[in-house]
Structure 1
Amino acid sequence: MTTNKINIALCADKNYLEPLETLLKSICYHNSQVHIYIIHTDIPEDWFIKQAQNLAKFNNQLSSIWLSEANPAIQRLNQKIMPNSFAINEIIKKLPNKLKHVNELTYARFFIPELIQEDRVLYLDSDIIVNSSLSNLFHADMKGCPIAAIDDYNLSNENTPHWYVLNTPKELESCISYQGGENFKPYFNAGVILWDLVKCRAENMTSKLLVTALYYSDVLYADQDILNFVLFNRWLRIDVRYNVQAHYNFTFLPFVTKSPWIIHYITDRKPWIPEYKDETIFHPVYHHYKNLTWQSIQEYCSSKN
């Protein structure tokens, strides 16, 4: 990589503005020269204007990617990947989702290689806190892999078999590398993914993901299952501290609990829900960043320079 800039992609809707702003605060607390792209369906323009002003104080940028047929970029994308077919918004509504705490926008990450014209981007779920610099992660050697990620520790555990057996139908053999198998491991968590966008675009990754998702209507973990299916054994495992999944027991890894670099609040028991605010040892960290003012973050960053 020849630049210090870090590109980050997020997906969210207007119901997630509090945790989304908290995530932005945590990013700015530890990072500058960041360009954040938010893919969304309904976040008001005035919210983006306000947050862009906040981020600019840290030499960071914010871009809105409106997932709507009224957006010319979406119109072009629709013609490229699904010509003479359903509109993208209609396609997303048809994709499988059995998780109550996850909405259809989770599939928006499939479009990242086409919507963000960068060489590389770090995708983060919106139920995340950044607790460190992201520079080493973003500029890591991906060793030729399309993505880098971290195991889903609840589903990759040797004693926790995945819920289904997938066999590759002939219709999909030209799209994907995985050819069936019982254990479907290793299995990564899709909340933190470093994308090589150049490689993904060259492989028509967006189309592969969509075709696979439309074929398999029975997957349990929505887009995460599809990503693991299409990218089976083609992802680079990175340090667990870049996706510390809050409800997993990390007591046997004290270096993780002592210094989590990215905290991911998996499951529906989120720290911003009052009854779960102290659910794990990592939940209070969310409130630390939430309660920071933009002014206090600016003062902290100035004191480091």
Structure 2
Amino acid sequence: MDLEKISYPIVLACDEAYAMPLATTLRSIVEANQNSWPLDFHVLANGLSDNTRRKVLNSLPKGSASIRWVPVDLELFRKFYTMSHVSKMTYARFVIPEIFPDSVSRVLYLDADILVLDDLGSLWETPLEGFIVGAVLDGMDSQIKRREPDLKDVPRVRDYFNAGILLIDLQRWRKEQISEKALEYLNLYPHSPYSDQDALNVACDGLWKKLDPRWNFQDYYEKQRLLDIIPEQRPGIVHFVWKSKPWNASMPNLNASFYDAFRSRTCFARTPLDKLLDTLQGYWHQLKGILRQYPFLRNIWNKIRGSVALAKRV
């Protein structure tokens, strides 16, 4: 197949709070896949205003992509647990088979907290060999298999994949009723720690193909500065899986400046005031870290705060 002429569906999910990361992710995709313009994006959305949708689309070069906005009712997932830094939109991927006709046999699902750094054509062309999905082993897999205490409630499966990047055979997904089985698991275990990812691992146990790890380079434990890697050796997709997101100044990330270079080319670029506030927030985070390390400094700080609070009451 001529990769210069393919146009395949790429699915993402987003709410208003994640509009900036969505725009940044889409920007990285179109920049790395110029031979496949116009790209075909389908965004599962909840609560996105018309203005936000325009800003996301205007963040992309003209003619580089089309965006289909697909409304999702999150009431379906209200009773299911998510971590504090994870939106209920994470469950939206369950509806993917419903939004495409039978003529669409394969889609690529991508989380919105990623950067795409390479052409996705070779990922798209990966043979699934009869498996339902292609995915990358999660960084926690070895700890889960060792049954570490912090992960004791994660379901035991043969291999545990990260659900942030999924190459999906829609026909097999429907035939095996993966969404239904995942929801059945969550109805039994609504507080499963990694929510939809746990459920999908149960539903797809033994039915998924391992993809090259470069298609989902996760920053759980590896603190690798992308700027230190020559472009030819960088991963195809970088996934900021943990809560220290590169756009969150209160939780410093080694790749914040790398990420911001992509963000700066969207309609959500930081203003000078944003940058100043982020810098101050970063200093405050460092100060809190110092106070935690040295109890006597923390005691002094608490006394100062107490005195200020008392003065305000007087």
Question: Identity across aligned pairs (percent)?
Answer: 30
Answer 1 or 2: which has greater helix percent.
Answer: 2
Q: 8 Å contact 2:13–2:44 — kept in the other structure?
A: yes
Structure 2 residue 185 is the aligned partner of structure 1 residue 185: no
C-alpha contact (below 8 Å) 2:154/2:194 kept by paired residues: no
Partner of 2:280: none
- Contact kept, 8 Å, 1:243 with 1:262, in 2: the verdict is yes
- How far did residue 56 of structure 1 move? 6.7
The residue aligned with 2:152 is 163
Residue of 163, 167, 175 corresponding to 1:202: 175
Alignment size in residue pairs = 253
* Greater radius of gyration (CA): 2
> What does residue range 54-73 of structure 1 map to in structure 2 within 5 Å?
55=60, 57-68=62-73
Structure 1 residues 115, 293: closer, same or farther in 2, change over 3 A? Answer: closer
Unaligned runs of 5+ in 1: 69-88, 167-182, 295-305
Cα deviation per residue 1:205-255 (whole Å; 9 max; x = unaligned)?
A: 22222222112223111111001111111111011111111233277xx89
Q: 1:51 to 1:275 in 2, by over 3 A?
A: closer
2:178/2:200 contact within 8 Å kept: no
Q: After TM superposition, list the pairs within 5 Å mapping 1:1-305 onto structure 2.
A: 4-31=6-33, 32-52=37-57, 55=60, 57-68=62-73, 89-97=74-82, 99-117=83-101, 118-157=104-143, 159=146, 161=148, 162-164=151-153, 183-249=156-222, 258-277=233-252, 279-280=253-254, 282-292=255-265
Q: CA deviation at 1:284?
A: 3.0
Compute the RMSD of aligned alpha carbons.
Answer: 2.6
Query: Is contact 2:7-2:38 (8 Å) kept?
Result: yes
For the residue of structure 2 that corresponds to 1:141, the secondary structure is coil
Give the secondary structure class of the aligned counterpart of 2:142.
coil
Summarize the Cα distance change of 1:250–1:269 in structure 2 as closer, same or farther, 3 Å threshold.
Answer: closer
Note if contact 1:122-1:193 (Cα within 8 Å) is conserved in structure 2: yes
- SS in structure 1 of the partner of residue 186 of structure 2: helix
Q: Mean Cα displacement is larger for which, 232-241 or 197-206? A: 197-206
Separation in 2, partners of 1:246, 1:41: 27
Residue type of the alignment partner of 2:153: Y
* Structure 1 letter corresponding to 2:100: I
Write the letter of the residue equivalent to 1:63.
R
CA drift at 1:155? 3.2
CA contact (8 A) 1:35 1:60 kept: yes
Q: Distance in 2 between matches of 1:247 and 1:255?
A: 21
* Structure 2 residues without counterparts, runs of 5 or longer: 268-314
Residue 249 of structure 2 aligns with an amino acid whose one-letter code is: P
Matched-pair contact (CA < 8 Å) for 1:241–1:256 = no
Aligned partner of 2:28: which letter? S
Q: Which amino acid aligns with 1:101?
A: H
Question: How far 1:41 moved relative to its partner?
Answer: 1.1
Residue 288 of structure 1, CA deviation: 1.7
Q: TM-score, normalised by structure 2?
A: 0.73
Query: 1:76 maps to which residue?
Result: none
Q: Which amino acid aligns with 1:4?
A: I
Q: Which structure has the higher relative contact order (CA within 8 Å, separation 6+)?
A: 1
